[in-house]
């Protein structure tokens, strides 16, 4: 939703909660701004870390915002529930369209076939309401 906000599109928070809450698996690619990276880090969540003595001391981001800003093209973080994966997604090969060739169309009628002869009435068909 950060991207939607950056684009200037208004989105009510209820719709935002529905959209984010109904997607179990989320993929986060490189984020263009600090705000978007922070928003992605908040969505991924935080976890407790232990100090040197083994006591749980601090909450830190599971994926820090800086990591979202430094992702290369094709890299992403996939979050599925409580699990987070750092993935490399292959870039699809560019599609190549076949070369355009003009298709020959039959312009003469075969022997024994006659046209309907409606050419003289075309204005009648165009103005009929």
How many domains, the chain?
Answer: 1
Residue 106 domain flag: no
Pseudo-torsion of CA 40, 44, 47, 49, nearest 10°?
-60
pLDDT on residue 67: 92
pLDDT in tens, 105-123: 767 888 888 888 787 887 7
Q: Does residue 113 belong to any structural domain of this protein?
A: no
Q: Can you give the pLDDT at residue 32?
A: 84
Structural domain that includes position 30: 25-88
Residue 63 exposed, middle or buried by CB count within 10 Å (0-12, 13-18, 19+)? buried
Q: Left if phi > 0, otherwise alpha if psi is -120 to 50, otherwise beta: which for 54? A: left
Residue 6 placed within a domain: no
Residue 1 confidence (pLDDT) above 80: no
Higher-confidence residue of 124 and 128: namely 124
Separation between Cα atoms, residue 61 and residue 125, nearest integer Å = 70
**Span 19-38, mean pLDDT?**
84
Which percentage of the chain shows pLDDT scores above 70? Answer: 89
76 closest CA partner among 25, 30, 20: 30
* Tens of pLDDT, residues 37-91: 998 898 888 888 888 887 888 888 999 999 998 898 889 999 888 889 999 988 7
Q: What is the pLDDT of residue 7?
A: 42
* Domain annotation covers residue 109: no
Asked whether residue 20 is domain-assigned, the answer is no
Residue ranges of the alpha helices (H) in the chain? 2-6, 13-21, 34-44, 65-69, 122-127
Of 55, 40, 56, 44, give the one whose Cα is nearest residue 5: 40
What local confidence, expressed as pLDDT, does residue 129 receive? Answer: 57
């Amino acid at each position: 939703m950060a991207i939607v906000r950056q684009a200037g599109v208004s989105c009510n928070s209820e719709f935002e909660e529905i959209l984010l809450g109904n997607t179990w698996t989320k993929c986060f690619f490189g984020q263009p701004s600090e705000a978007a990276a922070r928003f992605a880090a908040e969505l991924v969540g935080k976890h407790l870390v232990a100090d040197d003595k083994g006591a749980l001391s601090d909450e830190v981001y599971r994926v820090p915002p800086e990591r979202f800003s430094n992702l290369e093209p094709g890299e992403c973080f996939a979050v599925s529930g409580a699990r987070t994966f750092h993935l490399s997604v292959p870039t699809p090969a560019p599609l190549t369209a076949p070369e355009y060739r003009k298709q020959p169309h039959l312009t003469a009628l075969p022997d024994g076939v006659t046209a309907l002869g409606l050419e003289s009435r075309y204005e009648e068909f165009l103005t009929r309401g």
